[in-house]
Structure 1
Amino acid sequence: MPHPPPPPRTPWGAFPDVLIHASESAVKQHPAYWAAKTGSGAAALALVNDTMSDQANQRLLNLMQGHVPTLVSAHAYEREGVNAIPEIFADELSKTLSWPVDNGVLQINAVGHTGADGFSRLARQARFAGAVQPGGEYVLVDDFIGMGGTLANLKGHIESNGGRVLAAVVLTGKPHSAKLALTPERLHELRTKHGTELEQWWIERFAHAFDALTESEARYLARTEGADTIRNRIAAGQQA
């Protein structure tokens, strides 16, 4: 059975930093977190109501001034069930901001990113399906940002189908992960470290060059000693 094509990615341009609502401790130590992560809508609602930030919402409104984008969430499949947090978070943002929400774009594979290392995240990438409004403007919503690959692939799905992604917002994540758009300095570091042969291999494997990586993905690869290590760890992660 042939493998499906890699999920698309699109150029970053001047993509703004992801808006993070709450600290990891506030979210992950919340009593409703695990139930929300494993499918409970009621638990997700309690978690979102306790950790959603009015200040972050105001920053998003300021960033989107003059636009009324559609909110679309990264419905993530976990080993334990469907993560209820992104969809509930999008619904609550919709009520607060008076923006429409589209629940029709769905993640269609299970990637097992929770607790996974960086190579496993790079190897097992989220795929999305669902109708996109051509010319429509979107804001991405997720519960957590780590290396940013899921948001990058959701952006790629929307933009390769004619939409435009203006921003992204998450409930929690590390502050340094907020920068999705790859900087020229990081791209130069990665290409200098590993050369053109690895980038060509990456294009054959993932159908995009290094310039479509997130800042965190590129930093992870640039800090890895040797192109052979990267190829072997990616191959192992895809077979897991």
Structure 2
Amino acid sequence: MDRIYSFPASAKHFHLYRHDSELKKHPAYRAAKQGDNESAFELVWDLASHFLINLKGEFNEDTVYVSPFAKEASGDNAIPPLLASACASFMGGQAENDIVQLERVFHTGADPMERMSLRPSFEGEVVSGQTYVLVDDVTNLGGTLAELANYILINGGRVEGTIVLCNAGRSHDFVPSKKTSRLLKERFGNEIKEIFGIRTEALTTNEANYLIGFRTTDEIRNRLFKAKKETTKRLRSKGIQ
């Protein structure tokens, strides 16, 4: 599925930390990232409870909180769904478990071009007109949350914002400036959509700022070719085929 929608300009975005080192310091972090629910609960409670309490009232109490949680999630990161449940508990609303990510994309350790080439897809029922807030533990380029937002918007839902423990991107905004979007369109035309399956207008701020550093489409394609080889090498080193 192409990414055709950006986050609405009215969406509100909240994060607790700017660097994931604060998460990694927590003694339950490693086990939580490896899928242990009790460790994820401990981490979210210790680090995020006051943060979430202070966000009460930012979203309506009928809001649905949804995280990019992989369908085949055994041994996968347990923090995002626990954080979604905590959002519902502290702020009112409910956590969504039916919308799931179809595949693991292994973004940990990936560079920006690898991340842009490893796009997740989603399935599950979206209630038309329902308000959704997207939840994750860490975002870098913002691509995974943008893909989830696109899925919800295409299927008739409303995306009101994001809540993440750590926004590690250079920019904490999700919608690029009109100037940056215009420059990308002038320089590359529709090639970004042809290469990545993402409309220029649907790029996140950090994705757009990364791509603006390339002068030609050939430079992007050459870097993408190298990135795919790097991804293969990186995953094989972890025993993943």
Range class of TM-score, shorter chain: 0.7 to 0.9
Task: Select the residue among 131, 140, 143 that pairs with 2:134.
Answer: 140
2:83 corresponds to 1:89: yes
Amino acid at match of 2:134: L
Q: Secondary structure at the match of 1:144?
A: strand
Cα 1:238/1:131, change in 2 over 3 Å: farther
Task: Select the residue among 156, 161, 169 that pairs with 1:162.
Answer: 156
Amino acid at match of 2:84: A
Describe the superposition over 1:87-142 as per-residue Cα deviations: whole angstroms up to 9, x where unpaired: 01111111111211111111111211011000000001111111111111100001
Range with bigger deviation, 148-157 or 220-229: 220-229
Cα 1:132/1:12, change in 2 over 3 Å: same
Structure 1 residues 101-140: aligned runs within 5 Å: 101-140=95-134
Structure 2: gaps spanning 5 or more residues: 233-241
Aligned residue in 1 for 2:204 = 214
Cα 1:13/1:91, change in 2 over 3 Å: closer
Cα 1:178/1:224, change in 2 over 3 Å: same
Q: Secondary structure at the match of 2:161?
A: strand
Residue 67 of structure 1, CA deviation: 5.5
Describe the superposition over 1:66-89 as per-residue Cα deviations: whole angstroms up to 9, x where unpaired: 552111111158999311110011
2:6 corresponds to 1:16: no
2:48 corresponds to 1:52: yes
Cα 1:95/1:62, change in 2 over 3 Å: closer
Distance in structure 1 (CA, Å) of the matches to 2:91 and 2:7:
25
2:22 corresponds to 1:26: yes
Residue 175 of structure 1, CA deviation: 6.3
Distance in structure 2 (CA, Å) of the matches to 1:226 and 1:201:
10
Structure 1: gaps spanning 5 or more residues: 1-5
Distance in structure 2 (CA, Å) of the matches to 1:183 and 1:123:
23
Amino acid at match of 1:8: R
TM-score computed with the length of structure 1 as normaliser: 0.85
Cα 1:189/1:57, change in 2 over 3 Å: farther
Distance in structure 2 (CA, Å) of the matches to 1:88 and 1:177:
26
Distance in structure 2 (CA, Å) of the matches to 1:89 and 1:154:
16
TM-score computed with the length of structure 2 as normaliser: 0.85
Distance in structure 1 (CA, Å) of the matches to 2:29 and 2:172:
21
Distance in structure 1 (CA, Å) of the matches to 2:209 and 2:53:
29
